[in-house]
Homo-oligomer: A and B are copies of this chain.
Amino acid sequence: MNEFELIHRLVADLPRNDTVVAGAGDDCAVLDLGLGDRWLLFKTDAVVEGVHFTADTPPEKVGHKAMARCLSDIAAMAGTPSSALVTIGLPKDFSADRVAEIYVGLKATAAKHGVAIVGGETTTNPERIFISIALLGTVEKGKCPLRSGAKNGDAIFVTGELGGSLAGRHLEFEPRLAEARWLAKHFQIHAMMDVSDGLAGDLRHVLKASGVGAELLARAIPVSRAAKVRFKERVTTTPPLVAALTDGEDFELLFTLAAKDAVKLKDEWRAAFPGVPLSCIGKITAAPGLRLRDERGVKELAAHGYTHFT
């Protein structure tokens, strides 16, 4: 049983109440607690030593990554983050200096985005450091793009460049909070999420939630320089396009909007965020499934078949 099968089983009959606008299955939970014209966003995300970082990772960057991952989920809802709690599991022989430096990163990244750290907990996790961030944010009611809103004919966009994040970006990325709020303010975004598990896999979540399919254009996918260098220098055997489709930890925004708005978006984006690439990578289709079009034609992207594309 993989992670997604397990989650599917666990979330089958979760208790609900009348405050829940969107529960398990989106980037954040969306709650209506009577906050005037705003909804509350609620999210947790964990990083674990040996899984998401190593004993050699500079501790400030560990703290940055832990906070930024969670902020990226608030961004995916076009939200504004507000406050965080930090849960940290520590081995008995932890280095207080290392933990304090992790906190330097947590605090700096929180402060940069106006987030208060309002408490948390230290506990014991004997073999490795385990950090879970719980984050609250808010978003204007009705201005919160869910995964389920993609429509047949939509253009699919992604910010930044994809693949090869392990070369360094996964420790240094900046969550696309300003970009996401700008998008939701100026355009009718139909669906949005952040790319954390790889473009192909994450796009599938949007397609499933929306009951649609998609066709991607291979040459339009923004492959990162890191993915190309890692392949060229044989750090990895993953071809750059496959890396861009599957690597994960990109923390870019993936979203769809009506095709008629695509040109206007490209123009206004260039003026608003001149340093951030924005790519139209394909279109939403009524036919289900995920397909990739390249110079040789159109191929179905099977869920576990990426390594066949070279």
* A122-B48 CB under 8 A given contacts A13-B107, A34-B35, A83-B29: no
A156: interface (CB < 8 Å): no
What string of 1s and 0s marks CB contacts (under 8 Å) between A131-164 and chain B? 0101010100000000000000000000000000
Could you say which of A35, A134, A136 has the most chain B C-beta atoms within 10 Å of its C-beta?
A: A134
A140 CB to closest chain B CB, in angstroms? 13
- A107 and B51 contacting across the interface, CB-CB below 8 Å: no
| Cβ-neighbour of A31 out of B26, B123, B136 (below 8 A) | B136
Type the 1/0 row for A89-100, where 1 means its CB is closer than 8 Å to any CB of B.
100000010011
Task: Give chain A's interface residue range (CB within 8 Å of chain B).
Answer: 35 or more
Tell me the bound Cα distance from A20 to B100 in angstroms: 23
The distance from the CB of A209 to the nearest CB of chain B, in whole angstroms, is 14
- Does A45 lie at the interface of the complex (its beta carbon under 8 Å from any beta carbon of B)? yes
Within 8 A of B (CB), among A82-115: 82-83, 85, 87, 89, 96, 99-100, 103, 107, 110-111, 114-115
Say if the beta carbon of A117 comes within 8 Å of chain B.
yes
Distance in angstroms between the alpha carbons of A134 and B127 in the assembled complex: 23
Q: Is the CB of A9 within 8 A of B43?
A: no
Q: Tell whether A246 is near chain B: CB-to-CB under 8 Å.
A: no
Contact of A44 with B by CB under 8 A = yes
A14, A100, A126: most-surrounded residue (chain B CB, <10 A):
A14
**A44/B132 in contact, CB under 8 A:** yes
> With A44-B120, A100-B9 as given contacts, are A15 and B115 in contact (CB-CB < 8 Å)?
yes
Query: Known contacts A33-B82, A96-B6: does B134 contact A19 (CB below 8 Å)?
Result: no
B118–A42 CB distance below 8 A: yes
Is A10 part of the binding interface, using a Cβ–Cβ cutoff of 8 Å?
yes
Given the known A-B contacts A83-B20, A116-B15, are A9 and B96 also in contact in the complex, defined by CB atoms under 8 Å?
yes
A7-41 vs B, CB cutoff 8 Å, 1 = contact: the mask equals: 10111011111011001111011010111101010
Q: For the complex, is A124 an interface residue (Cβ under 8 Å from B)? A: yes
Q: Chain B residues near A123: list those with CB within 8 A.
A: 46, 48, 51
B11, B26, B51, B85: the one contacting A43 at CB < 8 Å is B85
Once the chains bind, are B116 and A125 in contact (CB under 8 Å)? Answer: no
In whole Å, how far is A71's beta carbon from the nearest beta carbon of chain B? 13
The reply to whether A89 and B46 form a contact with Cβ atoms under 8 Å apart is yes
A119 at the interface (CB under 8 A from B): yes
Q: Is the CB–CB distance between B45 and A118 below 8 Å?
A: no
Q: A33 — which chain B residues lie within 8 A by C-beta?
A: 35, 40, 82, 136, 138
Q: Taking A24-B119, A85-B29 as contacts, is the C-beta distance between A134 and B42 under 8 angstroms?
A: yes
Q: At the interface, yes or no: A169 with Cβ under 8 Å from chain B?
A: no
Enumerate 8 A-B pairs (CB-CB under 8 Å) in ascending A order. Answer: A9-B96, A14-B117, A15-B115, A26-B119, A34-B35, A43-B119, A44-B120, A127-B127
Known: A19-B82, A23-B118, A132-B134. 12 other contacts (CB 8 A): A6-B122, A14-B107, A15-B107, A17-B116, A23-B119, A26-B119, A31-B82, A31-B136, A44-B87, A46-B121, A51-B124, A126-B128
